[in-house]
Amino acid sequence: MAVGKSILNESRDIERAVSLIQLGARLQVLEYETSLSYERLLRLYKEVAGKSPSKGQLPFSTDWFLTWQPNIHASLFLNIHEYLSKTSELEEIDTVIKAFRLYNDQMTASSIEPILSITRAWRLVKFVDNGMLTLTKCNCCGGHFVTEPYENRHFVCGLCQPPARAGKGAASGGLRLH
Amino acid sequence: MTRRWWIPDVGYSRLPIQVFLPLDKITHIGSGVASKSPATLTPTPKEHIMDSEQLLAEIREANLTYLMLAQNLIRKDRAEALFRLGLTEEAADLLGMLSTAQLLKIASSNMLLCRFRVDDDLVWNLLTSHNVKKVDNATTTQLHASILMAGKFAESMAAH
């Protein structure tokens, strides 16, 4: 992100930061993706969101993306992200923003609670870039799903072969099998 | 004399109806009407022309709506439009540059310009919730279909 001091770049960074804050991103994401200083980002955050950013570490585990319901959401997001990055030459963070908006649209259309946050989505893309997670083709439906990189050739996705307890949680707004 | 029977008089009011409209007469009138109506409903050549003209008008309208929507989407956000429309980059660029006159000209064709996006039995089955084995929740199968569709197109784009 070392592009030198340019007012144009700065205005683009602010614009990006604003969209990210509106989507609910954590401050760490903004710090990583823009060249704005921490103080300016903090002020911007308060101005846009009307509250102080939440503190603490970012979710750092890849496990969350592999549990049944989050895996479906993450897979949808990552498929959209792949599509966008293959068809359009956008900067990485813009692809994430657009893919996340499209994912959100789909959730609204199907009236499902969007359980993937922008911070998680951004993190997921980073995990995939670093080879900690990958998309694997399901042997049953041919769809691509988020898995660990060493998944075997006979991988079957959680929708073709739901695990025993899938869709039985008490949480409302979650995915159901029947 | 007959006219007097129709006057809603307390004494006579019931009798004339029974006399003038016996059951067999009603069925007779009814069958008469029924036998006449098919004759008026058989399409004459003129109506045939009207029918196909209307269908053509509907195709033109659908084309125009599609093209205008596509153009709006492309001009608003090209990357998003590519995903939503499932078009190639070349097609999207072309569509985005069309003038209104060109748009109208292209729309007035006897063929529909937008094509069916699902060319896979599995996705189709998921979308219509037919033939699903383990999951039969509409929302979940729809999500499955979305994942497959997004993935399919990413694959086909990579091949281009």
Q: Does residue B37 carry a pLDDT above 50?
A: no
Vertex B27: Cα angle to B25 and B30 (nearest 5): 110
Q: Which residue has the higher pLDDT, B13 or B60?
A: B60
CA distance A134 to A113: 24
Q: Which pLDDT score, from 0 to 100, does residue B22 have?
A: 43
Mean confidence (pLDDT) of chain A: 88
Q: Over the stretch A138-172, which tens digit does the pLDDT of each residue have?
A: 888 888 999 999 887 889 988 888 887 777 765 55
- As a whole number of Å, the end-to-end CA separation of chain A is 47
Q: Over the stretch B90-103, which tens digit does the pLDDT of each residue have?
A: 899 999 999 999 99
Q: Which residue has the higher pLDDT, B83 or B16?
A: B83
Average pLDDT of span B122-136: 68
Cβ-nearest to B150 among A79, A176, A177: A79
Distance from CA of B74 to the nearest CA of A (A): 12
Cβ-nearest to A159 among B79, B89, B135: B135
CA distance A97 to A95: 5
Average pLDDT of span A87-98: 91
In chain A, what percentage of residues exceed pLDDT 90?
A: 58
Q: Which pLDDT score, from 0 to 100, does residue B33 have?
A: 43
CA distance B138 to B143: 9
Which chain B residue shows the shortest CA-CA distance from A107?
B143
Which of A101, A115, A141 to probe by mutation at the B interface, max B CB count within 10 Å? A141
Q: Which pLDDT score, from 0 to 100, does residue B152 have?
A: 76
Q: Over the stretch B5-35, which tens digit does the pLDDT of each residue have?
A: 444 444 444 444 444 444 444 444 444 444 4
